[in-house]
Structure 1
């Protein structure tokens, strides 16, 4: 059992990726100035990933890539890794997770910049495409789009930014990065204990269904309450790539993983697959998860079940 020592904490918040990002660091011996500098470096990771992976601005790297169809394009390491991981998850989920759903998202109105409120109109039709239309060259670090398509990296970009930010904070005894409910908990909190993170009730915003204890681990939730289409509030943002309709088998899916990008992507993939197949995917990836159906039936892995309260 760890000694319960009250350490100093430093917290800052900023707006990135359409969400409030909060970073808290825990330290026994560091000045507020140095803590602030470290947190600012962590925030730069969010700005960096947003500038590369956002499909809401025409000058991002991913939007420049979709203008060059049929040719290998050398890209930054950040974009290459985001796309590479997306394709891996697409493969293991048999296409339930697919980063080529950008045109579908755009057609439903998910193309408005969160700060400028401007719309990014590509004009690309909703033609049949899939992750198999994206080719990677590991040696030359190039990406080839074989058909006109829009890459949507929203299900990995935030997690990637969290992971890059975490690298800037590894010298602290503890830190917590919270990007709109997607979190990475590093080390231990100010009392020398594991971080305690609540899992939100999918229908009652102010309630939780349980509290998970984490250390050096990420937790991400995909829910149908998170984002709604500006043009049709009845439509949420989690689409089944195969039928191009919103996935309705679950209302919430939470996954924990060693890295936030992994938790982010697998919570999305499991949500789209639905309760039974989604749980199989979580377990095959050796992750932990909680899946909640529209009738508020809870499916969970063994470790997560131990944390759940009797809220539902």
Structure 2
């Protein structure tokens, strides 16, 4: 059996720390070439979807109302997927909450403190995902009302999935991007990867761990990004009220792909443990909720070690 080597790299991308680990007997040149491609993918998705850059595709789209705007395949697919999840959850997951987030003080990149530039308009009426229209034929998007789109619940997972495609030829690999994890193949001990689930009240501790291979797990929680304007509010908002979900500390979801896990951990968090459980059962995904008492609620097959 060929000797496997372990390669690790880390970088800041998409507003978070991204960590790569590859286990492979392939030549170093191939491994590093693929790692370089992973970083290019994260930069490309960030260029399309950043809320913090005035020249990103997302920012430019959010400045245009009532007209069809041609967008890249990356942005089109992300918006389409976000709208599909919004439809499935009856709007409890909604990519049009950007303005509500800004009103609670989430106007700054939480790592760099770079401000979100003013889009030049204020919302005068309520908006929802139904105010975003897609044209499949021309790959165009129209915002029927002034909307500040936020794709934070899908873009990072999408980037992880694109990166996963680049690393499939390796015996094992791990991609971790700010709570979004994809574990491919086996670790250096030729076992499924051991992934920790962070304790939402004690960041240095774990609620437990899971074993994962060829699957993703993503965790959503309101404990890292707090409002600087309204006490006890965080960035995971209930779209109908514009306020935070208070009945859950965190929600972790296991799915075949990171974008699925990313979106549905957010949706199941916002819905809360009862309705969120129904959602995950209907989509055959596994989830774990940490309640304010630190009591755990989980789907039947979420195995916490």
- Report the TM-score range of the alignment, normalised by the length of the smaller protein: over 0.9
1:49 aligns with 2:24: no
Give the conservation status (yes or no) of the 8 Å contact 1:136–1:142: yes
Please list every run of 5 or more consecutive structure 1 residues that lacks an aligned counterpart in the other structure: none
Q: Partner residue of 1:9?
A: 6
Please provide the CA RMSD for this pair. 1.6
SS in 2 for 1:302: coil
CA distance in 1, matches of 2:79, 2:288: 26
CA distance in 1, matches of 2:42, 2:226: 23
1:117 aligns with 2:114: yes
1:280 aligns with 2:278: yes
CA distance in 2, matches of 1:29, 1:49: 28
Q: Partner residue of 2:90?
A: 94
CA distance in 1, matches of 2:150, 2:159: 15
SS in 2 for 1:135: strand
User: Residue 20 of structure 2 is aligned with which of 14, 20, 23?
Assistant: 23
- Number of residue pairs matched? 303
Give the conservation status (yes or no) of the 8 Å contact 1:159–1:261: yes
* Residues 179-209 of structure 1, C-alpha deviations (whole Å, 9 max, x = no match): 0121011111111111110111111212212
- The aligned runs of 1:1-312 (5 Å cut-off) are 7-31=4-28, 33-113=29-109, 114-115=111-112, 117-126=114-123, 127-232=125-230, 234-304=232-302, 306-308=303-305
Displacement of 1:233 = 6.5
Please list every run of 5 or more consecutive structure 2 residues that lacks an aligned counterpart in the other structure: none
* Residues 82-105 of structure 1, C-alpha deviations (whole Å, 9 max, x = no match): 000000100111100000001111
Give the conservation status (yes or no) of the 8 Å contact 1:6–1:190: no
> Runs in 1 of length 4+ with deviation above 4 angstroms?
230-233
Give the conservation status (yes or no) of the 8 Å contact 2:198–2:207: yes
Give the conservation status (yes or no) of the 8 Å contact 1:6–1:191: no
Give the conservation status (yes or no) of the 8 Å contact 1:112–1:120: no
CA distance in 2, matches of 1:209, 1:116: 30
CA distance in 2, matches of 1:267, 1:119: 25
CA distance in 2, matches of 1:133, 1:50: 24
CA distance in 2, matches of 1:211, 1:107: 36
